[in-house]
A and B are shown apart, each in its own frame.
Chain A
């Protein structure tokens, strides 16, 4: 009984789980590392960008919320970076080997441009412009993160799925903090500035889902590392983000392609 094994490709295609670096095939490992690096780099870049915003918080509650987001996003990165470390990544060097706070110029057109060789989601290459802008970005991106993390909860790499299970509720809380922050800004008469920021971030978050049909999509699905297409995820986000804006009485920007 115990000697019975099966081809790892068939195993994964049938929903099998891999559980440690010793039993993952090379191609799987590369794709998994890319997914984990994207997560880690996005959390580190997100935290680095938000760190600068703490001082822009209009009150102590806001500053605490911003500081908490920076702390927890960095900790989220650490959780997954530990797993990368089990594959041989230099976790000590990782946080410092790269300028995570670097951003493109604010007026860079929405797209998938990157300013450095890291795996952060494209939206995290754009700079925040003050407190209101940061809160708006945090809401729209937070809803996108919720959608993307749901995808990873069923990842065929069990330790990654477990890490995401710990991370996801915190990210959801960050999104809730953003919604609370926006309610307050709107109540104080900041609707116009909020709408301006929504118009700026909406297409950029939308782009961060990547191409609708990715050539790697089918391969990732077969490996159990992804289950839905980029287009499906974007549609799920559009629905949730649209509903969130409606609830706050904000303009819903037009959606391109």
Chain B
């Protein structure tokens, strides 16, 4: 089960105007020995609302630090806070590293990796790049790095340093959308067509063993299509869609079918293990989440309406169940619901986990 652990912030450095690199140190517990390319999921409370955000680790395995890169997104609560308020000495919470954006390392086997990064999508690719260059002495890395202009390139100096350190083994191709470059090919967007042109003159695609792509959706699709056209198979193409592009899923809104219930909150009474507790809950919140938030040890497993662990019975009032993949019709008829999928419709609900 995914748990949050405290991490102390030891350093915050700006890499470009609107992006920071945050260095972290586990305070007590949690296995933060990451695999290159993995990400951390943070949680932070903003005015009573918990926001969870995932950011890729940008450090290599041998850097000896735990670092993530956070680019400010317009209107993004977490990224703005991280860029403007986060400072050394503060403690933030994160889950242990997750993600499968990596391939096994093999120092004996020389490989050619081809990485594609769009903007802040560089973070996991940088982690992979640093790690394979250090741990696979015979491997090469070609990076195609897409940015709007020169001043939005994250880790520009780090990349130069790496190129110097691993002379001949690292190639970096910057593609800039709005800044003109000496070579026309290096201006514009990275799409299928651009890839095709790169594969003709600049990148020996036949020698590529594995490709890593991290960027926004259209870029990923275009690159993947081009790679497949050039003979790469699914197990040779690794994707990381960066999470910050997606809106937060925290407040799952119940489809408001009923205009009758005007109030935004509900008086709830929940019985668990023989004890009943009453509180006011938001109608945008599931019965299960409300119970957990009010210190009730409500049972749950999948939180997706799948496993039926969170089954409970509605004794009074009405809830709307968004998904049900576990309960039979007769159980629903008897008032059983999956609490993880149930949102109050009436201004009062009474729920029992013991029946």
Question: How many A residues have CB within 8 A of the partner chain?
Answer: 49
> Is A117 a contact partner of B217 (Cβ separation < 8 A)?
no
Check A20/B220 contact, CB under 8 A, given A26-B249, A117-B308: no
| Residue numbers in A under 8 Å from B146 (CB-CB) | 1-2
Chain B residues in 8 Å Cβ range of A153: 234-235
Give bound CA distance, A247 to B299, whole Å.
50
Q: When chains A and B are docked, how far (Å) is the Cα of A29 from the Cα of B323?
A: 11
A208 to chain B, nearest CB (A): 17
Minimum CB–CB distance from A177 to chain B (whole Å) comes to 25
Taking CB atoms, residues of chain B closer than 8 Å to A27 are: 323
- B216 and A88 contacting across the interface, CB-CB below 8 Å: no
Who on chain A is nearest to B305 by CB?
A30
Nearest residue, chain B, Cβ from A18: B241
Q: Is the CB of B235 within 8 A of A2?
A: no
Q: B128-153: contact bitstring with A at CB < 8 Å (1 yes, 0 no)?
A: 00000000000000000011100010
Cα distance A90–B300 when bound, in Å? 7
Greatest chain A CB density within 10 A among B1, B147, B325 is at B1
Contact in complex: B1, A14 (CB < 8 Å):
no
In angstroms, Cα B241 to Cα A162, docked, is 15
Contact B307 A89 (CB under 8 A): yes
Decide if B344 is an interface residue (CB 8 Å cutoff). no
Q: Using Cβ atoms and an 8 Å threshold, which residues of chain A touch B301?
A: 89-90, 93-94, 97
CB-CB under 8 A for A2 and B309, given A16-B221, A26-B252, A88-B303:
no
Contact A159 B99 (CB under 8 A): yes
Q: Are A90 and B216 in contact (CB under 8 A)?
A: no
The interface residues of chain A lying within 8 Å CB-to-CB of B53 are: 22
Instruction: Give every chain A residue within 8 A of B215 (Cβ-Cβ).
Output: 2
Q: Mark A83-106, 1 if CB is under 8 A from B, else 0.
A: 011111111111001000000000
Contact with B along A1-37 (1 / 0, CB 8 A): 1111110100100111111111101110110011001
Picked from A11, A90, A92, the residue with its CB within 8 Å of the CB of B217 is A11
Most buried by A among B121, B224, B245: B245
A89 contacts B1, C-beta separation under 8 Å: yes
Q: Is residue B54 within 8 Å, beta carbon to beta carbon, of the partner chain? A: yes
A111 and B75 CA atoms in complex are apart in Å by 53
B50 → chain A, closest Cβ, in Å? 13
Partner of B246, one of A8, A91, A158: A8
- Contact status of A85 and B221, CB under 8 A, knowing A1-B189, A117-B326: no
B349 CB-CB contact with A under 8 Å: no
Q: Within the complex, what minimum Cβ distance (angstroms) separates B247 from chain A? A: 10
- Report chain A residues within 8 Å CB of B216: 1-6
Q: Is the CB–CB distance between A165 and B235 below 8 Å?
A: yes
Residue pair B246, A22 in contact (C-beta under 8 Å): yes
Q: Mark B189-224, 1 if CB is under 8 A from A, else 0.
A: 110000000000000000000000001111111001
Q: Interface on A for B, CB 8 Å cutoff?
A: 1-6, 8, 11, 14-23, 25-27, 29-30, 33-34, 37, 84-94, 97, 117-119, 153-154, 158-159, 161-163, 165
> What are 26 A-B pairs with beta-carbon distances under 8 A?
A1-B177, A1-B219, A2-B121, A5-B216, A6-B217, A11-B221, A15-B224, A16-B221, A17-B224, A19-B240, A20-B39, A20-B98, A22-B53, A22-B243, A22-B246, A23-B246, A26-B249, A30-B306, A84-B302, A88-B1, A88-B303, A89-B302, A93-B309, A94-B301, A94-B307, A117-B327
